[in-house]
Structure formats: structure tokens, C-alpha cells
Amino acid sequence: MTKQHILLGVSGGIAAFKSASLASLMVKGGYEVQVLMTEHATRFITPLTFQSLTKRAVVVDTFLEPNPAQIAHIQLADDALAYVIAPATANVVAKLAHGFADDMVTTTALAATCPLLIAPAMNVHMLAHPAVAANLRMLEERGAIVLQPAEGLLACGYTGKGRLPEPEDIFAVLQAVLARRQDLLGLKVLVTAGPTIEEIDPVRYITNASTGKMGYAIAAAAAARGAEVVLVSGPVTLAPPEGVKLRAVRSTEDMFVEVEKHFSTADVFVAAAAPADFRPKERLAGKWKKELGTPSIEWVRTPDVLKSMGERRTSHNQTLVGFAAETEDVLANGRRKLTSKHLDLLVVNDIQEEGSGFAVDTNHVTLLKANGDIKDFATMPKTAVADALWDEILAWRHRTR
């Protein structure tokens, strides 16, 4: 096997026919492709189809050992640059989640240490079943990259989520995984993102305009570069980044409690969330009626998540990074926050500037450092800002050690 060896696991679903196109794309991309199939998969598409495309014999039988000097599934796993399972049926997903190994696809998966990409495909109701959802979450928490199924007309006649992503989309994810840097490998990263909600009554609440885009981009970039990432997120409409452990919260108090759970073991804490600073002292038990007039609300401060973590830093090796969304005196306010919250780095921006701030896909930020250095970044996509910030965080950690 060569260094460009890719494993393609095919399980028994109607979407298996798309895997032939995926295998073809991989071969055209210059990869040596070894296809593994379950017995059920051979009922939908023949091994001969894949053999013709890859010029390799397809492995179905777990006990087929053509080379007495090697154990087949171990050697295949050791040689693989990546392992893609597409389609992954509910049955195979359950086996992978719970460590079952009764066919070549799952046995090899247990032995593989390379990136594992799982592309589920099944009926919309099967995908939504709590057991399947829990199994997919379990796989993500272990570091597998689970691709989101596409929506559309399914073979069973239903319309909804459950289609195998197009082969071109799966191949694009594979290429991105193989191209990514692994310079954050071994780091434990904690990221906060999004707004928080403070309830006034069962119907009304206060919040802010944060969409979580910047925090999610930071978490995604860290995971793509090899970090173990926990993302504590307020209510947003974004899909969880691949390979990230998501912890959803609602209020600032909820965020404080969840961050506290993970902070002591984090090497880097990036507080990109915009938690509410105030909450009603008392939440009204029932909906306030207009006939009662204008309610008088007493406000109290919520926990300062970032400052609290800065005061309880557990190690000199921990790096704390804050964000400051400002509307005036941007740098001066940023410097005060950097000092008062005991941070190493602070990312500050003017949210009134075009192409910066909430609800847009770009950002213009300035990085303030505890040693007094300042670095201004050009306006660019938040995904690019995230990668640039990780470069700076790594440089800071190397410089201060």
C-alpha cells in the first residue's frame, strides 16, 4: 500500500450505488482505494463494480487472509490515510458506536487510527430516532467526522433528511481532512459562542444580536487542526462543527456552570460568546398582560464568565483569549478588558463597521496581547479570521513557555 491509500467502507443501503461514483472520484484524485463491503451491501451493488473502478479486489470476508504474514484488517487499518464509510446504515452506525466488529467494515474501523468519516443514509424517521441520534453523537464525541445527510426524496418514498450526500461533497470533505494542518494536536480547547437568553416571563426575554458565527468558526478551525474541542454555545441556528463536542446552554448562568466544568482541563479557553450582562432579579411566573401597565423590572448582574475564569487560572500553561465587541474607543476599551479580566490575548472589533460584527460572514478584528503588542487583521471571512487567530495563539504559547 502507498501513502495515498484510502479505505472505503460500503454498507447495505440503497445509497450504496453512489459509493461507486465516490470510489471513482477517489481514484481520479490519485488515491489508492481499497473497498470493504458488508454482506448486505453486496445485495445492492456487486463487488465486481468496485473492483473494476479501483483495480483492487474488494474485501468482504473477515476471515479471508491472503497473506499469512499479515492480519488483513489490521494491515489495512495501519496503511490507511483515511477511512470513509458511505453509506453508513443505522445498523452499522450502531455497531461503530458500541464497538461491535462482526464484518470487515466494522472490524477494520475498530483497528483504524486514521481519520474516520461517516456518511449516514437512511429513512428520515430512522435518522431522527433517539437511538440513532445518540449513536451519531457518540461517534462525534470520539472524534469521528459525521457528515450531515442531505434532504430530498428518499428511496422509501418519504421526502426529508436522510439522503447520502453527493459523492462530490463527500470527496470534498475527505480532501479537506487530508489537507488540514495538525498543529493543534494534543491541545484541549474550550470555546464559548453565541448569545445567552435571560427570561423576563414565560414569553419574553432579553438577548443580543450574536449569531455564534465567529465562535463556531474558531471551534471548527481548532478541531480541523487536531485539537480536542468543547464548544459551549448559547441558542443559535448553526449546525455543530464536525468533530466538536457541543454543550448547548441558554442563560449566562448556564454558560458559567458549563464552562466551569471544562475549564480546569483546557489548555486554551477562547471566550467568543456574547453572554447577557444583566437579568431580571425575579422572573415573572406568568405572562405579563398589557392591561397591567408597564412592568417594573429590577435588574441584577449575571456571572462574568471570562473574568471568573481569568481569576481561577489553574496553570501557567493555560492561554485565555477574550473577545470585545465595541462601538467606540475600541482599542482603549479593549486594553482595559484585557487587563481587568486577566487575559493573554483579546480580540476586539467595532461592530458598527461594515463587514464586521454580528450576523455577517466577515470580520475585521484587532488582536491585543498582554505584552502590549497589537496586530490588526484585514477584513476577511470569519473562517479565515479563525485560522489566523489560531496561528497567533500558537505563537503566543510558544513564546511564553
Quick one: pLDDT at residue 68? Answer: 66
Cβ 90 vs Cβ 73: under 8 Å: no
Residues 6+ apart with CB under 8 A from 276: 195, 196, 197, 198, 206, 207, 208, 251, 252, 302
pLDDT in tens, 291-307: 888 888 999 999 999 99
Instruction: Output the pTM of the full model.
Output: 0.60
* 114 a catalytic residue: no
Quick one: pLDDT at residue 1? Answer: 40
Quick one: pLDDT at residue 252? Answer: 97
Q: What is the pLDDT along the chain (401 residues), one digit of tens a residue?
A: 445 789 999 999 999 999 999 999 999 988 999 999 999 999 999 999 999 999 999 999 877 767 666 667 788 888 888 999 999 999 999 999 999 999 999 999 998 888 899 999 998 888 999 999 999 988 988 888 899 888 777 777 777 787 898 999 999 888 878 876 678 989 999 999 999 999 999 999 999 999 999 999 999 999 988 899 999 999 999 988 888 999 999 999 999 999 999 999 999 999 999 999 999 999 998 998 988 888 889 999 999 999 999 998 877 889 999 999 888 898 999 999 999 999 999 999 988 888 887 888 888 999 999 999 999 998 888 888 998 999 999 999 988 76
Quick one: pLDDT at residue 345? Answer: 97
Quick one: pLDDT at residue 360? Answer: 85
The residues that bridge with 193 in the sheet, in sequence order, are 233
Q: Which of 1, 71, 155, 156 is catalytic?
A: 156
CA pair distance 220, 242, nearest whole angstrom = 7
Cβ 363 vs Cβ 385: under 8 Å: yes
Query: Residue ranges of the domains in the chain?
Result: 5-179, 188-400
Helix 382-400 × helix 213-224 angle, to 10°: 60
The CATH T-level fold of domain 5-179 is Rossmann fold (3.40.50)
Q: Which CATH architecture has domain 188-400?
A: 3-Layer(aba) Sandwich (3.40)
Question: Is there a common fold for 5-179 and 188-400?
Answer: yes
Quick one: pLDDT at residue 401? Answer: 67
CA pair distance 132, 109, nearest whole angstrom = 18
CA pair distance 358, 363, nearest whole angstrom = 9
CA pair distance 338, 169, nearest whole angstrom = 41
